[in-house]
Amino acid sequence: MQFLPLQILYHRGCIHLCGLCEANKKLIILALEQIHQYETTNEMFDASLFLNNMREQLNNRFGITENIDDKIYDIEIEFSELTGDFVNNHHWHHSQQFQKLEKGNYLMKMNCGISRELVGWIFQWMSNAKVLKPLLLKKMVAKKLTDTIQLYALEERVKSNNVFRSA
C-alpha cells in the first residue's frame, strides 16, 4: 500500500499522521505509536492535489475515526438542560445546530457519518443524552449499553470490542 502523508493531527491528546491510500484515495489516520514499520522513498508528490479530498472526508466524520459506512446521516440528540447548556457552548462538528426545547432541554442536529468515536462521545454524557435519529445510531448506542451492562452482570473479563460496522 502506498500511503501519501498529508498532515499531522493532534486529537484527544494523541499525535496522528493523516494521509490517503494512493490506490483508492481513502483517508487513513494513524496514531504515531501505531506505526511499527515503514519504508521511505524519494518519490515526491504534490500534496495540494489531495488536501481537498482529505478535508472532505474529515468533514464527513465526527472526529477522526473512520465511519461505519459511506453514508452521511441526519443525527438528532436530545440533551438535558444543564448538559445542553454546556454542549451548546462548544464546537463538536462543523454542521452542529442547537435548538432549545420548550421544557428547557436542547436538541442537537448534525450531518455526519456514524463512528465508534461518535458512540463514545454520546456515552460520555451518560443519561443526560438520548439519540433520537437515526434509528441505526440509536440501536448501536443501546447495543453497546446492553453489552456494558452484561459485562458487569456476568462479571466477564474485559476484552477488546471496538468493532463498529453497519448491519
Q: Give the integer Cα–Cα distance in Å for 68 and 165.
A: 5
CB 48 within 8 Å of CB 30: no
CB 122 within 8 Å of CB 129: yes
Q: Give the integer Cα–Cα distance in Å for 102 and 82.
A: 14
Q: What is the DSSP letter of 69?
A: S
Summarize the confidence of residues 110-130 as an average pLDDT. 97
Give pTM, 2 decimals. 0.85
**Is a pLDDT exceeding 90 seen at residue 166?**
no
pLDDT digits 0-9 by tens, 17-48: 999 998 898 999 999 998 898 888 888 888 99
139 vs 158: which has the higher pLDDT: 139
CB 28 within 8 Å of CB 73: no
The predicted structure's pLDDT at residue 83: 97
Query: What residues contact residue 54 under an 8 Å CB cut-off, 6+ apart?
Result: 6, 7, 18, 19, 20, 27
Summarize the confidence of residues 147-165 as an average pLDDT. 79
Closest C-alpha among 105, 108, 86 to residue 97: 108
**Is a pLDDT exceeding 60 seen at residue 135?**
yes
